[in-house]
Amino acid sequence: MAKSSTTYVCSDCGQAEPRWMGQCPGCQAWSTLVEGRVSAPAGGRGAPGAGRAAAGRAAAARVLPLRDVIAARVPRLHTGIGELDRVLGGGIVPGSLVLLGGSPGIGKSTLTNMALGHLAASGHTTLYVSGEESAQQIRLRAERLESPACRALDVPVLAETDLETVLATMETLRPDVIVVDSVQTLHAAELSGAPGSVGQVREVAARIMQVAKAASVAVLLVGHVTKEGSLAGPRVLEHLVDCVLQFEGERERTYRTLRALKNRFGSTNEAGVFEMRSDGLVEVLDASARFVGEATRKAGSVVLASMEGTRPLLVEVQALVSSSELVPPRRVVNGIDRNRLALVLAVLGRHAGVGCGTADVFVNVVGGVRVDEPGADLAVALAVASAQRNVPLGGEAPMLPVAAFGEVGLTGELRSVGHSDRRLEEAAKFGLCQVIHPAGAATLRQALAGALGEAGRAARAA
Ligand X SMILES: Nc1ncnc2c1ncn2[C@@H]1O[C@H](COP(=O)(O)OP(=O)(O)OP(=O)(O)O)[C@@H](O)[C@H]1O
- Which one of 25-33, 106-114, 168-176, 279-287 is the stretch in contact with Mg ion (CB under 5 A)? 106-114
For residue 293, the minimal CB distance to Mg ion (Å) is 32
Q: Please, which residue, 212 or 276, has the CB nearer to ligand X?
A: 276
- Other Cβ atoms within 10 Å of 186 Cβ, number: 28
Give the nearer residue to Mg ion in terms of CB position, either 104 or 440.
Answer: 104
- Closest CB to ligand X among 84 and 417? 84
| Residue 107: CB minimum distance to ligand X, A | 4
Binding segment toward Mg ion, per CB under 5 A, in 108-116, 172-180, 261-269, 399-407: 108-116
Q: What are phi and psi of 283, to 5 degrees?
A: -70, 135
Does position 130 bind Mg ion by CB under 5 A? no
Task: Select 109 or 446, whichever has its Cβ closest to Mg ion.
Answer: 109
Sequence-distant (6+) residues with CB within 8 A of 344 are: 377, 380, 381, 384, 408
Query: Where does this chain touch Mg ion (CB under 5 A) — which range of 104-112, 158-166, 194-202, 391-399?
Result: 104-112
Choose between 142 and 414: whose C-beta lies nearer to ligand X: 142
Size of the site for Mg ion (CB under 5 A): 1
Residue 109 binds Mg ion, judged by CB under 5 A? yes
Q: Which does 202 bind (CB under 5 to 8 A by kind): Mg ion, ligand X, none?
A: none
Question: Of 154, 119, 159, 155, which Cα lies nearest the Cα of 137?
Answer: 159
409 vs 347: CA distance, rounded Å: 8
Nearest distance from residue 110's CB to Mg ion, in Å? 8
- 364 in contact with Mg ion (CB under 5 A): no
CA distances from 207 to 3, 188, 393 (A): 16, 9, 57
* Site track 288-327 with Mg ion (rule: CB under 5 A), x = hit: ----------------------------------------
**Spatial separation of the C-alpha atoms in residues 31 and 68, rounded to whole Å:** 48
Shorter beta-carbon distance to ligand X: residue 91 or 223: 223
CA–chain centroid gap for 37, Å, is 30
By a kind-dependent CB cut-off of 5 to 8 A, residue 151 interacts, out of Mg ion, ligand X, none, with none
276 binds, among Mg ion, ligand X, none (CB under 5 to 8 A by kind): ligand X
From 102-110, 146-154, 300-308, 389-397, span contacting Mg ion (CB under 5 A): 102-110
Length of the chain equals 462
Q: 76 vs 144, which CB is nearer to ligand X?
A: 144
Q: C-beta of 222: minimal distance to Mg ion in Å?
A: 7
Residues in contact with ligand X by the rule CB under 6 A? 102, 104-110, 132, 144, 224, 251, 276-278
Rule CB under 5 A: which residues touch Mg ion? 109
